[in-house]
């Protein structure tokens, strides 16, 4: 084997080793990026879910207080205790929304801001800061749950999940309300 053939063989081995190294490096880099994106998507799912749970908990606490104040239900707790529960739910909700603000996509954050405004209106009517009729109360609650669905759609879009929770495939649902009480 001549010197020229040996140089070609050595060059081919070096080229093969270099291409193997570059390929492995690029694949590893791609795998690390994918793992990072997956990890952040998991965190986003958690943040979005926690935020919706916290918003619903705040609404539920507002409902209890509203029903107690209006004499519609006796929750066996004082109004002061129910206000404390609502305040605690508000703190958890605020913390959950901060995580959405840190990790959420633009549309999810904006949908969260819209939901926040509606939840605040429910809170204000429950505590008596604003007045309103029972029909206005129910309207506010309906709007909040529509906003939750809008938030779900924005979160799904941000996560790359196909489909939606509203629209033609999903008929609009109303609040689940007990039947009207009869005065006996």
pLDDT tens sequence across 29-56: 777 676 655 667 889 999 999 999 999 9
For residue 10, being part of any structural domain is answered with no
Please state the domain count of the chain. Answer: 1
For residue 98, being part of any structural domain is answered with yes
Are 84 and 95 in contact by the 8 Å Cβ rule? The answer is no
Q: What's the pLDDT score for residue 167? A: 57
Question: Given pLDDT bands bounded at 50, 70 and 90, which one contains residue 113?
Answer: very high
For the entire predicted model, the pTM comes to 0.73
Range of the domain at 70: 42-159
The mean pLDDT of 128-144, rounded to a whole number, is 94
For residue 110, being part of any structural domain is answered with yes
For residue 34, being part of any structural domain is answered with no
pLDDT tens sequence across 68-110: 998 888 878 899 999 999 999 999 999 999 999 999 999 999 9
């Amino acid at each position: 084997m001549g010197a020229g053939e040996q140089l070609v063989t050595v060059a081919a081995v070096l080229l093969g080793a270099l291409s193997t190294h570059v390929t492995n490096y690029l694949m590893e880099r791609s795998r690390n990026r994918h793992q990072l994106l997956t990890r952040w998507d998991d965190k986003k799912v958690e943040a979005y879910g926690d935020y919706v749970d916290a918003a619903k908990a705040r609404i539920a606490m507002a409902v209890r207080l509203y029903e107690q104040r209006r004499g519609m239900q006796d929750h066996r707790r004082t109004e002061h205790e129910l206000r404390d529960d609502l305040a605690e739910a508000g703190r958890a909700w605020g913390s959950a929304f901060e995580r959405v603000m840190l990790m959420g996509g633009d549309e999810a954050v904006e949908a969260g801001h819209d939901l926040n405004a509606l939840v605040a209106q429910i809170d204000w009517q429950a505590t008596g800061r604003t007045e309103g009729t029972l029909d206005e109360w129910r309207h506010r609650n309906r709007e909040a749950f529509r906003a939750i669905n809008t938030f779900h759609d924005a979160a799904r879009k941000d996560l790359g999940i196909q489909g939606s929770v509203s629209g033609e495939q999903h008929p609009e649902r109303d609040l689940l309300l007990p039947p009207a009480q009869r005065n006996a």
